Amino acid sequence: MATKNTTQKKMDRRDFIKGSSLILSSMFLPFSIEILNPGEAPAAPAGGNGEITTFWNSCNVNCGSRCALRVHVQDGKIIQIETDNTGDDTYGLHQLRACPRGRSMRQRIYAEERIPYPLKRVGKRGEGKFERISWEQAYTELGQRLKKTIDEYGNEAVYLNYGTGALGSTMGKSWPPDATPVARLMNLAGGYLNHYSDYSTIQITIGMPYLYGGSWVDGNSLSDMENSKLAVFFGNNPSETRMSGCKCKTLQHARFTNNTRVIVVDPRYTDTIVSSGDEWIPILPGTDTALCAALAYVMITEDLVDISFIRRYTMGFDEESLPEGAEPGSSYKSYILGQGPDKTPKTPEWAAEITTIPVHRIQKLAREIALTKPCFICQGWGPQRTTNGENLSRAVGMLAVLTGNVGIAGGNTGAREASGQSLPMATFPTLENPVKTSVSCFNWFQAIEDHTWMTAETAGIKGRDRLIAPIKFIWNYASNCLTNQHGGINQMNPILQDEEKCETILVIDTTLTASARYADYLLPCCSNLEEHDWTADGDSNIAYVIFAEKCIEPLHESRGIYDICAGIAEQIGLKEEFTEGRTQYQWMEHLYDQSKKAVPDLPPTLEDAFKQGIYKKYFPENHIAYKAFRDDPEANPLDTASGKIEIYAPELAEYAKTWKLDKGQRITALPEHIDDPEGAQSPMQKKYPLQMVTYHYKQRTHSTYGNCSWLQEVSPQELWINPLDARARGIKHTQRVKVFNDRGVTYVEAKVTPRIIPGVVGLPEGAWHKPNKKGEDMNGCPNVLTRLQPTALAKGNPHHSTLIQVEKA
């Protein structure tokens, strides 16, 4: 295969026409791709009269916000992108200002890495050789393959992979999987294997409800922090993970209205500390469980717990309140005081050695949290992305429980802040999946290799006792989670390359991602700036809809996901059922009419809405999670077996006995600290002495925008390393370093900064995997270093349980 080395200059595609084949390569591309029969390039947009037209649209990526864009178009080409400039920016109806990512959309739209036309693999899978095919051929062959897979293996062999490249919109939507046009098509075709939870939150999603019940633990709205006397953020970093102008304004409102004091517990001195924090308490990743236990120790021994709250609203705190059947000594208090099976009192001295936080600071923090009421205790989603993340999420929750901060203004549950207000806009009907089986969003790859061992007790399979089919067909729409964003990239490679195992990998995307390398069929999807849609979202005190008008014609030969699914539906005899006779625009009009019934203030017609651009609504009340339960727990019990907060989780005690876990893994009824086999104080540190966190970076949203030079320039991919660790290795600021462990190697520049705790490095997730000939990544992609072993309970991705070594490159 012809390859082209990377250069630092942008390249012109035409440079690579050799004979009849076309080789696409660029400084960003994860692999070079050879197209055997490129033919004529798709026509560029026709010229115009030079007039500039402005359209409203939005940025629909997976950052936790959706922002408004004003897209200026001249002669069919985008020339500039601005943001919301409406109103006077008063809080509650404030401007939905886009962050630097949204403002860089022009570079993403016109990137060289856009997929130009439908492609079909001709070489070995993963080799990067494709031929150009027509849409008709793609539809026909994909329809045949889908039918064949269903006939031979059943519908449970067809998997919809997690993907959040198109998020928040109504038609051009890749997440949640069951709300996508792909799901509608598959549901009509008999169903598909689904997945539960997501790479961002799986340990907290699965773990924390054992404390509060339900399927997702609620939090107070961030705005309610204005009523708090103290806020303690465990790894919550809204200034970097919620960068939009909408959410920034909320954080400022929350932090500065009454000057709430903010303490941030984090391995990094984050931009949240810069902009909102009063104090940083550095901690080693994965040890928050030990800190929380020691805080509880101080509160219990100094008589600072809210015992009347605990008596009325919880069970399992002490031996008297344990449920029937629980072993003696298995209460929370026994665990904390060292009267349980481990006989270890969770003293501040014990925790100091594990967390690195001085004893005096632990004692003081316990007293501050217990005595400063109300206190907003919350956690981000970084801390739970470790091997013991399920317990960690509950351990932080316990601080809110012990201090009676649940269900009151200015308090919180220990979960992340509530996701925000929303408007009841109609959504695209995707029908019901006849298949109920699901794997975790992370362990699906095991069902490619060998599904036969995967049961509820061995692999967390839900909806069925065991998997009944291997994964043979993958829909990978707007997703870079086959490899880049999955983890264990080098270990995933052979699994995906094996054409005998998964027989069809269909990648539908705007852009040639690292995951696109494994496509059998690679279909170009248009971006959201190239089709009509709308996006509904909200925050603490605001809900809004951005009406996104098509700004330019779909680039090259790209098409919208609705049309692509309709094309495949036709081949399997489902076109009429899929479309119900409507075009995408007709669906939008239909859904708009329905939405108007629920939100009567909307503009009269969809066309009017596109002209108006944004509809906003102010919600003056702050959200208080579990307020009804707090006000009257007998009338409004929680969704747990006891109706109370279950400090001791009986179901987990059962799983601890019945589930078959990997060696060294544990499930515990209490939110115990468990030493991370690949974390702080692990014996593995002899070989790989540094922990690695893969935090969210302002250059990208996950891997989206990773090919925009403006963003790379202002926020280059860097490895954060403490001066003490750098000095020991002779590493200087901006020097290139090699980061490695047994799973892989990556090269990146060092940012030598005291803003990260010694013993830990930070390498932002999402950098595009770009292997050299030796298979070493050249682009600072952390997922060549992370592991594939799912966690005990959630079967989730423990990306922050990663040990590495660093040396000068």
Partner 1 sequence: MIKNPAFYVNSELCTGCKCCVIACKDKHDLLDGVMWRRVIEYSGGEWLVTGNVFEQNVFAYYISISCNHCENPLCVKGCPTKAMQKDENGIVWVDQNRCVGCHYCEWNCPYGAPQYNEELGRMSKCDFCRDNLAKDEPPACVAACPSRALDFGGYEELQKKYGKHATIAPLPRPEMTTPHLIVEPNRHSKPQGSMAGTRGQLVSNPEEI
Cβ at position 239, least distance to partner 1 in Å: 4
> Cα 693–695–699 angle (5° rounding)?
140
Q: Note if the bond before 603 is cis, omega within 30 degrees.
A: no
Gap between the Cα atoms of 627 and 633, Å rounded: 9
Q: How far is the CB of 98 from partner 1 (least distance, A)?
A: 7
Question: Of 201 and 356, which has the nearer Cβ to partner 1?
Answer: 356
Residue 282 near partner 1 by CB under 8 A: yes
How far apart CA 148 and CA 765 sit, in angstroms, is 37
How many amino acids of this chain bind partner 1 (CB under 8 A)? 59
Q: Which is nearer to partner 1, 15 or 89 (CB)?
A: 89
What is the closest distance, in whole angstroms, from the C-beta atom of residue 326 to partner 1 in the complex?
Answer: 34
Contact 749, 717 (CB under 8 A): yes
Q: Should residue 417 be labelled a site residue for partner 1 when binding is judged by CB under 8 A?
A: no
Q: Yes or no: say if 243 and 65 are a contact pair by the CB < 8 Å rule.
A: yes
CA distances from 307 to 299, 315, 338, 404, 427 (A): 11, 12, 20, 8, 46
In this complex, which beta carbon is closest to partner 1, that of residue 278 or of residue 449? 278
Q: How far apart are CA 504 and CA 521, in angstroms?
A: 8
Question: What one-character-per-residue DSSP string does 515-547 give?
Answer: GGGG-SEEEEBPPGGGS-EEEEEEETTEEEEEE
Task: Verify binding: residue 787, partner 1, rule CB under 8 A.
Answer: no
Name 803's Cβ contacts closer than 8 Å, sequence gap at least 6.
678, 679, 682, 684, 685, 687, 688, 689, 690, 691, 692, 741
Residue 460 to residue 456: CA distance in whole angstroms: 4
Q: What angle do CA 375, 287, 260 make, to 5 degrees?
A: 20
- Residue 290 found at the interface with partner 1 (CB under 8 A): no
For partner 1, which stretch binds (CB under 8 A), given 179-187, 264-272, 403-411, 661-669? 264-272
Q: Is 99 in the site for partner 1 (CB under 8 A)?
A: yes
Q: Does residue 356 interact with partner 1 by CB under 8 A?
A: yes
Q: Which stretches within 521-670 are classed as H helix?
A: 561-571, 575-579, 584-598, 606-612, 627-631, 650-658
Confirm or reject binding of residue 575 to partner 1 (CB under 8 A).
no
Q: Does 421 bind partner 1 (CB under 8 A)?
A: no
Least CB distance to partner 1 at residue 82 (A)? 7
Among 709, 727, 808, 809, binds partner 1 (CB under 8 A): 709
Q: Say which residue the tokens 């919880």 belong to.
A: 314
Which of 352, 508, 674, 781 binds partner 1 (CB under 8 A)? It is 352
* Interacting span for partner 1 (CB under 8 A) from 18-26, 155-163, 195-203, 357-365: 357-365
Based on CB atoms, which residue is closest to partner 1, 1 or 714? 714
Smallest Cα–Cα separation from 276: which of 231, 228, 223, 227? 231
Decide: is 589 part of the binding site for partner 1 (CB under 8 A).
no
Q: Which of 208, 315, 336, 357 binds partner 1 (CB under 8 A)?
A: 357
Which value, in Å, is the radius of gyration of the alpha carbons in the chain? 26
Q: Does 92 bind partner 1 (CB under 8 A)?
A: no
β-sheet bridge partners, residue 777: 746, 771
- Please say which residue, 292 or 519, places its beta carbon nearer to partner 1: 292
Determine, following the binding rule CB under 8 A, whether residue 269 of this chain makes contact with partner 1.
yes
Q: Which stretch binds partner 1 (CB under 8 A): 187-195, 334-342, 384-392, 748-756?
A: 748-756
Cα–Cα distance between 3 and 9 in angstroms, integer?
17
**Window 216-255: contact mask with partner 1 (x via CB under 8 A):** -----------------------xx--xxx--xx--x---
The nearer residue to partner 1, 359 or 684, going by C-beta atoms, is 359
Is residue 689 a contact residue for partner 1 (CB under 8 A)? Answer: no
Q: Does 560 contact partner 1 by CB under 8 A?
A: no
Residue 51 Cβ vs partner 1, minimum distance, rounded to whole Å = 17
Site for partner 1 in 56-85 (CB under 8 A): 80-83, 85
CB 615, CB 547: distance < 8 Å = yes
CB of 769 to partner 1, least distance (A): 22
3-class secondary-structure state, position 333: helix
Q: In angstroms, what is the minimal distance from the CB of 64 to partner 1?
A: 13
List of residues 6+ apart from 683 with CB closer than 8 A:
none
Question: Token pair of 716, please?
Answer: 């280059």
Min dist CB 580 to partner 1, Å, is 40
CB-based contact 344:338 (threshold 8 Å): yes
Among residues 350 and 475, whose Cβ is nearest to partner 1?
350
695 contacts partner 1 (rule: CB under 8 A) = no
Indicate which single residue of 113, 218, 224, 718 sits in contact with partner 1 (rule: CB under 8 A).
718
Q: Which is nearer to partner 1, 95 or 783 (CB)?
A: 95
Residue 702 sits in the site that holds partner 1 (CB under 8 A): no
Using the rule CB under 8 A, give the single segment among 168-176, 275-283, 771-779, 788-796 that binds partner 1. 275-283
Q: Which is nearer to partner 1, 279 or 589 (CB)?
A: 279
Residue pair 117/131 in contact (Cβ under 8 Å)? The answer is no
Which of helix, strand or coil describes residue 676? coil
Residue 227 to residue 60: CA distance in whole angstroms: 32
Taking a C-beta distance cutoff of 8 angstroms, is the pair 590, 582 a contact?
Answer: yes
Which of these, 206, 205, 210, 208, lies nearest to 640 by C-alpha position?
Answer: 210
> Least distance to partner 1 from the beta carbon of 165, Å?
20
- DSSP letter at 666 equals -
Q: How far is the CB of 363 from partner 1 (least distance, A)?
A: 13
> How far is Cα 58 from Cα 61, in angstroms, rounded to an integer?
9
Shortest separation between residue 386's beta carbon and partner 1, angstroms: 19
CB of 512 to partner 1, least distance (A): 21
Distance CA 224, CA 255 (A): 10
Asked if 711 interacts with partner 1 (CB under 8 A), we say yes
| Minimum separation from the CB atom of position 251 to partner 1 (A) | 9
> Can residue 804 be called a binding residue for partner 1 (CB under 8 A)?
no
265 binds partner 1 (CB under 8 A): no
Burial class (CB in 10 A: 0-12, 13-18, 19+), 382: buried
**What is the closest distance, in whole angstroms, from the C-beta atom of residue 395 to partner 1 in the complex?**
20
Structure-token pair, residue 635? 């009338």
Q: Which stretch binds partner 1 (CB under 8 A): 44-52, 270-278, 476-484, 498-506?
A: 270-278
Are 729 and 806 in contact by the 8 Å Cβ rule? The answer is: yes
Which of 758, 776, 778, 805 touches partner 1 by CB under 8 A? 758
Pick from 734, 742, 772, 775 the residue near partner 1 by CB under 8 A: 734
Q: State yes or no: residue 257 binds partner 1 (CB under 8 A).
A: no
CA distance 626 to 662: 36
Under the binding rule (CB under 8 A), the answer on residue 552 touching partner 1 is: no
Q: Which listed residue (280, 381, 562, 626) binds partner 1 by CB under 8 A? A: 280
Footprint of partner 1 on this chain (CB under 8 A)?
80-83, 85, 89, 97-100, 103-104, 106, 239-240, 243-245, 248-249, 252, 269, 271-275, 278, 280, 282, 352-354, 356-359, 698, 709-711, 713-716, 718, 722-724, 733-734, 749, 751-755, 757-758
